[in-house]
Every structure is written in structure tokens, then in C-alpha cells.
Amino acid sequence: MNEAVKVEHLTKIYNHSIKAVDDISFYLKEGEAFGFLGPNGAGKTTTIKMLTTLISKTSGQAYVYGNEISSNSIAIRKLIGYTAQDIEVDEDLTGRENMILSSRLYHLSAAKARQRGNELFEILGLTEAADRSAGTYSGGMRKRLDIATALVHDPKIIFLDEPTTGLDPQSRFALWDYIKGLNQKGTTIFLTTQYMEEADNLCERLAIIDNGKIVAEGTPEHLKEEIGGDTITLEIKDSSNSGVTSRDNAVKTLTGLPNIKDIKVLDNNRLSLNAANGSYIIPEIVSLLQEQNIVLGRLEFANSSLDDVFLKYTGHELRVEEQKKKSNVMHHGRKRRS
């Protein structure tokens, strides 16, 4: 197995006390699409910035194609592409001019820059818009152009930090197809995301990261198989105390019931049950709650998903918080309009 990335006990501490990344270890195989799934502040961006040599580590080791991140930053930067959460293209330039600018930064010849630009415009669906100002592009098109500029030097691996955050659903789904296409053509991909569906669709393997720690790792299918069973979500009604009293009674009533593997409290009036053959025991659950005069407001049933995996390993739900777009971002010495 050829390893594109190897990380051992990597840690990043800010201000001598804040552990943004806490002793994580993982690997990324050449040619695969690997992802970090976690909420804002989990340590995803900090990890990528260390691997791309943008910030220093505190301790541990990390290698990109055999190059240690602290001692071989120049070699690593020649091998990688990187796109940040914010789109960093110059909107005063055309798509093609943005590509030429990036090509010059990587010291490509004019002929090679044209050839590579045309290839990437075709792959990323930007050929017809190549000679239009990037300021006229949609958000999804600007993100694709951003990715194209990061691929102009034909890197072995590209790091995509939350590539679809801030995009509308249609643009998000379209970008998924382009990312899959890049991977199918041999580009190794390391992406971070806070979207369950995105991780499930794009990643051959993923690591769930929370509070700076990796809490689970594997293929989406394997992680879901580990959970097993189905998920039953109950909403308990209790007008006197926001559901808390009835909720606690419901937990006591259902604890120990055959086929229920786990019960988690989601909030004041909601419970999540992990159950084998969940659809068959729903009538028994409803009957037991009625016997205890516990009123159900709502019941939902679903097969295991990455939401359930995240809940099991972290103890809380993953709530997506869209990043606010920053205005007046500087790129290559020029101001970008927001």
C-alpha cells in the first residue's frame, strides 16, 4: 500500500493550553478519497493547515508522500494542491487569466499552462465560461475555478477544506460529481466536511473528528454496520416541564427492553433508540409508553446512517453551521470582491 499521507500522534496547541488537534493518527492511501467529518471547531482545518505546511505542529509526526511536514515544506508544496473554505479567485480576471496567474506561481511554461488550463476547464465544466470575468460566475462555478487553480500544476494530492460550505444544494451536488471525476482520474483527495451526506457520497474512508480527537475511522459502510440496527426517534410530550419528567420516565420504561441496544437523550423531549428489527418493536414501545401515561408527540424510524454513527461516538448530534463569507479577502496581492 502506497501512503499519500501518514500521521502519527499529531497535536496542535494554541496559547499553551488550547488543544485544537489532540494526538491524532491516521493514514491516506494514494488514489483514494478520504475525509474528515466533524462540526466547526473540531480540528479539521487545523489538521489540513499542518499537513499543507501553512502552520506548524506542536508535536507528533506527519508525512506527505514520505516528506515530513516540519523539515520538507518546499518538497510538500510541490506535490499538493489546496483550497481553503473561502473562495480565493480574483473576480476582476477571467477564468483563464486566473489559471495563467496560478500557472506562473508554479513556474509552468506558457504552453503547459494553456494545455493544463484547457484540460481542467473541460473536467470541471468551465470551458464555455473560461473567458468570462470570474465576477460573473455563480458560487459553484467560482468554487470549481478555485479548485482548478489548485490543480494547475498536476499535484499528487489535493486538500479540499469544506469545499461545498456556503453553496446552494444544486451547486453542492454538481460539485460532488466533479470531485468524484477528479478522483476517478487518479487525483488523491483529502476533504473536510460537516455534511453527513457529503461524507457518505464522496469518501471511500473517513474519520470522525470531534474536539480535536479522532473518535472513529473506516469506510462509511463499515461504520454504519458497526452501529447495527435501526434508529427510532421519539418526541415526548409534557407541557408541565418541557418534556423532561416524561422523558426520564420513558427512558426508565424502555431500558432493558429486548432489541433496544442503546438509548440516548437528544434534548429536553427527544430520545434516540438504537434497536434491532426496529420496525417490529414499535408497537410494543408505543404500548408500554401508553401504559405509563407518557404521551408521544412524534415517532420517526430510519435505518442506520452516519448521523447515528456520529451520535454514538460523540454523544451529540452534528449541527451544521454555515460559514459566513468573508469580504475583501486578499489573493495574490489583490482584493477580491465578496
Pairing label, strands 205-210, 67-68: unpaired
Alpha carbon 309 to chain centroid, angstroms: 14
Regarding beta strands 157-161 and 18-29, do their DSSP bridges make them parallel or antiparallel, or are they unpaired?
Answer: unpaired
18 C-beta neighbours (distance < 10 Å), count? 9
In DSSP terms, 159 is beta-bridged to: 82, 190
Q: Residue 267 has what pLDDT? A: 85
| Residue position matching grid coordinates 513556474 | 107
Q: Mind listing the domains of the chain with CATH numbers?
A: 3-217 (3.40.50.300), 229-303 (3.30.70.100)
DSSP state of 103: H
Identify whether the C-beta of residue 229 lies closer than 8 Å to the C-beta of residue 275: yes
pLDDT value of position 315:
82
pLDDT score at 271: 94
Which stretches does DSSP call E strand in the chain? 3-14, 18-29, 33-37, 59-64, 67-68, 80-83, 157-161, 188-193, 205-210, 213-218, 230-237, 260-267, 270-275, 295-303, 329-331, 334-336
Each residue's pLDDT, cut to its tens digit, for the chain (338 residues) gives 689 999 999 999 999 999 999 999 999 999 999 999 999 999 999 999 999 999 999 999 999 999 999 999 999 999 999 999 999 999 999 999 999 999 999 999 989 999 999 999 998 999 999 999 999 999 999 999 999 999 999 999 999 999 998 888 888 899 999 999 999 999 999 999 999 999 999 999 999 999 999 999 999 988 887 777 788 999 998 745 555 688 899 999 999 888 898 899 998 889 999 888 788 889 999 999 999 999 999 999 987 788 888 888 888 888 665 444 333 333 333 333 33
Q: Is the dihedral of CA 54, 153, 181, 122 positive or negative?
A: positive
Assess contact for 287 and 181: CB atoms under 8 A: no
Cα separation, 49 vs 73, whole angstroms? 12
Q: 169-190: b or e for each residue (b if 16 or more CB lie within 10 Å)?
A: eebbebbbebbeebbeeebbbb
